[in-house]
Structure formats: C-alpha cells, structure tokens
Chains A and B, each alone.
Chain A
Amino acid sequence: MTNLLEVKNIETYYDLVYALRGVSFSVKTGSITAILGNNGAGKSTILKTIMGLIEDQPDKGSIEFEDAPIQHWDTDKIVRKGIAYVPEGREVFEELTVHEHLIMGAYIREDPSGVKKDIEQVYRYFPVLKQRTNQWAGTLSGGEQQMLAIGRALMLSPRLLILDEPSLGLSPILVKEIFSIIKEINLKGTTILLVEQNANMALSISSTGLILENGRFVMKGESKDLLEDKDVKEFYLGIKSETSAKGYQRWKRKKAWR
C-alpha cells in the first residue's frame, strides 16, 4: 500500500501563536487514520492547514497528495484534487435546502448521472435526510446537520475524506451510527483521515492512531495496540489502572508527555 497523503514536518502559526511544531504523518491508501488529542492540541489546525484554510500557512514543511505537493494552494484547487473536508461544527448553508446542499457538494463535478447516483447513495446512508429534502439546513437538528455535512462531502466522490470531530455534540447512539457509516464509506474505497475526541470510538474503527499534544505527535501506532496501551487507556479512554494500596506511596503518572 502506498501513501495517499504525506505530511512532512509542517509548522503552522496563528499570528504569533506557534500551533503546530513540526508534524509529520502519512495516510495509507484505503485506510482510516485517526488523530487524537486534547482540546487545543492542534488537531483541527492540522486539517485546516492541509485544506489551505489558514492564510499563508504552513510556515514550514510540505504536504503531498498523491506525490504532488499541495501546500499553499487555494482551497478550491485542493478540493478539485479529490480531498473532501467535513469541518468541525458542521458548517452548513443555513438557507439552502438539503437537496441544494447535495447539488452544491457536487459543484465541481460535470457528470449529471454520476451525481444523481451519488445523491441516492447519500440518502441510502442517511435516510433521515431524504425526509428533509426540501427543508432548510438551518432548521435541521445538530445530528442531521452533521449527516448533511458528511453527505455534502461525499458528493465530491473524494479519494480522501477528512472529518473533523464528527461526534461533536451528538448523542451516543447517533455517534455509533455515524461511525458505522464512516466505516462503510471506507470499505467502499474512500481513504479517511479522522480527528476525534472520542478516542474509544475513533480507535475502534481506525487502523492507525496518532496522538497529538501541544502541536507535536507523542505517540503513533496500530489502533488496536493503542487501545491496549496503559497511557492511552488512562488519559483518553478514562480507564483508571490505579489501585488503592493502603500504606504505600501512591504514584500518579504524569498527565502529559512533553
């Protein structure tokens, strides 16, 4: 398997804030890669940097998609290369209907029959959206908006689908549903890069996991190994390994790697 996306040593600033301090990773073709980390670790920043949504960034480093550098490109050009992005907090068009969203999702495509088929496909993934076809996106519930944002991204029929916290603000059942659909999309041949707070969910569907802290990766591994890892268990999965031992000094593990 080759690498679809190759990020090499990128550094990103927000004005004077040094957000990414040299981040390198790669996404294998056909895989699901998950990036985990605390609030403010820089997870979303990585994705925004890849999509060219932060002006003049990355400051250093390179981003290669299918062996061609794409850093410093305009967002629409990156999208045309075959990368779809579902932003954090579902950026929908409030006053466009669900159907219009899917049409807009396919804005750059020129094959009407393929687009029609993909609209049907999106409705098959998310039957709720079909009931809401002619409703404004602003009137949908949070979960429905998230489904719509994913559906809109799928309309590009991308080779790489980037998801920024798809579980944000959703009920546990809905999170499960969305993750099983993400898995399904992946099985149909779309490579996925996922950023998540919900470590358990993300590691259970992904093949590779990366852990980010303060703008640097601190850990990388097979997802199933990470699920078993002591530190990951304690800090991200909330499983305490600490036992109460009376009379002994209680050692607490450091809360962060630096």
Chain B
Amino acid sequence: MIDLIQMIVNGIAVGSSYALMGLAMVIIYKTSEVPNFAQGEMALISSFFAMMLLTSFNMSVYPAFVLTFVFAVILGCFLEFAILRRAKEPNVLGMIVITIGIEMILLGFVSWKFGAEQKTMPFPIGPYDSFIIGDIFISKLEVLTLVAALLLMSVLYLFFKYSKLGLAMKATQQNSVAAQIVGIRTNRILMMTWGISSLVGAVAGLLISPTIMHPFMMWDPMLKGFAAAVMGGMTSLPGVVIAAYMLGIIENLFGGYISIEFKTVVAFVIIVFVLCVRPSGLFARHYVKKV
C-alpha cells in the first residue's frame, strides 16, 4: 500500500514537469498551430543562463532568477521575430521543421559553451530535501514544481478565457485574416506568445535543473510534455495538465509493477491508444470545420 501511494506521489511529481513543458507547447500551438519542438532547448538555454549568472557572476538567487525569466521572454520573442517571421509563405510543416532546426542550434550552442558533462545547479532547495509524511517521502522541489504547474495553469487559463489579449491570441490562431481586419497586430501577438511560452518553459527548466543538468536534460520532459499536450487535445490548458499527471502516474505504476525497462515507452503507447480512440485528444472541445 505504501509502495502504491509512494509511486502515485512520485508520478504526480514527475507529471508536474511534464505539465509545465506541455503548457509551454500548448501556448504556442494555440496561436500558430505549430508544435514547437525547440521548446525544450529554449528552456535548456534559460537554465544554463541562470547557472551562469549564479556561478560565474556570483549573483544571488532571486535577482538571477528574475533576470533568467526576462532572458527567457526576450529569447522567445527574438526567435519568433528573427527566424519564424522571416519564413516566406509559411505552412505548418515548414514551421515545424524550422523549430527542429532551432532546437539543434540551441542544443549545439549549449554543448559548445558549457560542455556536455553533468553540472550542479546552485538551487536554494536541494534535490534531496524532503518532507516525510507517515512513510511517504515527498521532496520539497517536487512540491514546488507541483505548485508552479498548477499556478501557471490557472493564471494562463484565466488569461486566455477573460483577458482581451488572451482572446486576441485565440482569435489569431483561429483566423489570422479576420484577426487582422479587426485591427489585431497578428505578428506582435505571435511574438508575445513565444515570449510567454518561453517563460513557462524556463520555469520548468529551472525546476528540473537541481536534479539533472546537462545539455540533454530537457529531452525527456519535452517529449513527455508534448505527449501530454497531444493527449490533452493540444489546445486545452487544463487538459494538458491532467494528461501530464495521468502520464506521470501511469508511467510510475508501470515502472513499479510491470517493467522498469519499458517505463519511458509507456507514455507513447498511451498516446497511440488515445489517438486511436479520441483523435482530437481527451479534453479538446473542437469545432469540426464544415466543408
């Protein structure tokens, strides 16, 4: 019994980082219908930027994190402005390939600048600080990740639902010509979504970095986050978060009871299954276009 509860708790913990990455991907997808595969590496470069501030410049933690968030927003805006906007006659497939290209470049840059070996991030909460409730261990970092994921989800949900800017972002995704003719600066909206998304990704990166910090650290969370986003229907913010927790829990239970070797594969088996049963995702409320 204790094992089961411990596994579920771990699943939720791991699910939180998937949820953050999934949220970041969904924000960009919501406005441009492009799954951004560079998401993980954008978060990666932000985390390494934070580490550089902390170790090389000896900054204290909070200003360094604030600077990192600013850096992440600027990075997102810059990538949109300098690379994606330059694409002539863009289509979704071309855009996806561009994001993969950006991913490679950023990954290469981080490996070249910081080296590929494991680093330690001087984070205020260590990876092994934990609460013990009964016989169950919960690490403080995991609680923080959980809180961050839920908080960001709620804020973003309210933002998209009730703010005029959030509405404009949805409008831009659904019909960019119509968005232009009501006076929305669609280019600027796209840039902003990249900024926000990069910020959410940076939060995920910072929360992952105390446990694991090398150039490939974002691979697993990014792919699982993408998986969660697909499962959740790509556009629904609560959908991604719920799907991410489901993935995390199922993965951990599978690892614990059935086979630890195939633990990471399980997420993708679930995606295939979900896409067969409900192609538009578990939580999407999608309007099917009339021909």
Contact = CB atoms under 8 A, between A and B. Distances in A.
B178 A138 contact: no
A104 B179 CA distance: 8
A184 to B, nearest CB: 22
Contacts of B177: 53, 87, 91
Contacts of B174: 93-96
A80 B171 contact: no
A76 B167 contact: no
Interface stretch (B37-45, B133-141, B181-189): B181-189
A152 B182 contact: yes
A18 interface: no
Contacts of A136: 287
B171 A96 contact: yes
Contact of B180 (A53, A95, A139): A53
A156 B284 CA distance: 32
Interface string A82-108: 001101000111111000100111011
Contacts of A212: none
A85 B167 contact: no
Contacts, number: 73
B175 interface: yes
B224 interface: no
Contacts of A105: 182
A75 B181 contact: yes
A91 B179 CA distance: 9
Given A75-B181, A139-B287, A107 B170 contact: no
A139 B186 CA distance: 25
B178 A91 contact: yes
A85 B170 contact: no
Contact of B181 (A51, A94, A103): A51
Interface residues of A, number: 29
A75 B287 contact: no
Contact of B170 (A92, A95, A152): A95
Given A103-B167, A138-B289, A93 B178 contact: yes
B175 A104 contact: no
B168 interface: yes
Interface in B30-72: none
Given A94-B287, A94-B289, A95-B287, A76 B180 contact: yes
B164 interface: yes
A76 B185 contact: yes
Given A53-B180, A76-B183, A104 B171 contact: yes
Contact of A156 (B168, B178, B179, B182): B182
A85 B181 contact: yes
B173 to A, nearest CB: 9
Interface string B124-163: 0000000000000000000000000000000000000000
Interface in A157-194: none
Nearest to B184: A107
Nearest to A84: B181
A76 B170 contact: no
A152 B177 CA distance: 14
A108 B183 contact: yes
Interface string A126-170: 000000000010110000000000001101100000000000000
A169 B179 CA distance: 23
Nearest to A105: B182
Contacts of B181: 51, 53, 75, 79, 84-85, 87, 91, 153
Contacts of B178: 87, 91-93
A104 B168 contact: yes
The 10 closest A-B pairs by CB, nearest first: A138-B287, A108-B183, A79-B183, A91-B178, A75-B180, A93-B174, A94-B287, A76-B183, A85-B181, A93-B171
17 contacts: A51-B181, A74-B185, A75-B180, A75-B181, A79-B182, A91-B181, A92-B175, A93-B170, A93-B174, A96-B171, A96-B174, A100-B167, A104-B184, A107-B183, A138-B287, A155-B182, A156-B182
Given A91-B181, A96-B171, A156-B183, 18 more contacts: A75-B180, A75-B181, A76-B186, A92-B175, A93-B174, A94-B287, A95-B170, A95-B174, A95-B286, A96-B167, A96-B170, A100-B167, A107-B183, A108-B183, A138-B290, A139-B287, A152-B182, A156-B182
